[in-house]
Amino acid sequence: MNWIYDPWPWYVSGPMIAFIMFLLIIVGKNFGMSANLRTMCTMCGADKRAEFFKFDWKAQRWNLVVVIGTIIGGYIAANYLTTDPAVNISADTIEELKSYGFETAGAAYAPDKFFSMSVFSDPKYLGLLIIGGLLIGFGSRYAGGCTSGHAISGLSNLQLPSLIATIGFFIGGLIMVYLLYPIIF
C-alpha cells in the first residue's frame, strides 16, 4: 500500500490522463474547470441578469462531478495520503523563495503567506489575492477556458486556439516568476 503515498511517475499518471481524455472525446465532452463556474452561476440564477449565462446548465452536470471529485480527492490526499508535506524542489529555489519572504518554501505545498487566516489582516497579501483572482477570472474568460481546459482537453482535440492559449499561459508564468515576483516580494 506504500505506492499510494508516493508521487506517481509521469508514465503512470500521464497515460491515465490521456485515457480519460480519450473517453471524453469518444462521448463528445470537453473537460475544463472554469466552465463549472459558469454552470454554478447559471444554477444560482445569473441567467436572469446576463446573456452569457443563458444556456442549458443541466447538460454540464457531469462536469460538476469533476469539481466535487477534485475537492474530495484533494481533501483525502492532504489529510490521509500525505506522509510528508514537503515539496521536492531544488535548494536554490528554496533559498530564492525564502529571500522573497516565503519562510515555509520547500516545507509545504501552500505558502502560509497566502493560505492562512492571517492573510485577511494583511492588506498587501489580501490585495494580491483579490487582484490575482480577478486576473485569473478575466484571463480564463478571455481565453475561452482555463489551463486545464486548454492544455489537457483542447490540446487533446488538436485545437489551435488551445495551443496558442497554452503557450500564452507558459509565457505569462515565466514573466510572473522572473520579472514580477522580485518586484512584488
Q: What is the pTM of this model?
A: 0.67
- pLDDT at residue number 48: 92
Q: What is the pLDDT of residue 167?
A: 93
Of 83, 100, 132, which closes a domain? 83
Q: How far apart are the first and last CA of the chain?
A: 41
Last residue within a domain, chosen from 40, 66, 83: 83
Reference 66, options 122, 24, 107, 99; nearest CA is 24
Q: Are residues 2 and 76 in the same domain?
A: yes
Residues 54 and 5 in one domain: yes
Give a yes or no: residue 150 inside a domain: yes
Does some domain include residue 93? no
Question: Given this model, what pLDDT does residue 142 score?
Answer: 83
- With respect to residue 12, please indicate whether it lies within any of the assigned structural domains: yes
pLDDT recorded at residue 1: 57
For residue 51, give every residue at least 6 positions away whose Cβ sits within 8 Å of its Cβ, in sequence order, or none: none
Query: What is each CA distance from 10 to 83, 160, 177, in whole angstroms?
Result: 20, 25, 24
pLDDT in tens, the chain (185 residues): 577 777 778 899 889 988 988 888 898 887 778 888 888 889 999 999 989 889 898 888 888 888 899 899 988 887 888 777 677 788 898 888 888 878 888 787 777 777 788 888 889 888 988 998 888 888 888 888 888 888 888 888 889 999 999 999 899 989 988 898 888 87
Of the candidates 50, 66, 44, 74, the residue with the CA atom closest to the CA atom of residue 153: 66
Q: How big is the chain by its Cα radius of gyration, in Å?
A: 19
Residue whose C-alpha cell reads 490521456 in the numeric block: 18
Number of neighbouring beta carbons within 10 Å of residue 17: 13
Range of the domain at 135: 116-185
Q: How many domains does the chain have?
A: 2
**Cα(43)–Cα(40) distance, integer angstroms:** 5
SS3 category, 111 = coil
Q: Rounded distance, CA 138 to CA 35, Å?
A: 13
102 within domain boundaries: no
Q: How many C-alpha atoms does 3 have within 13 Å on its Cβ side?
A: 5
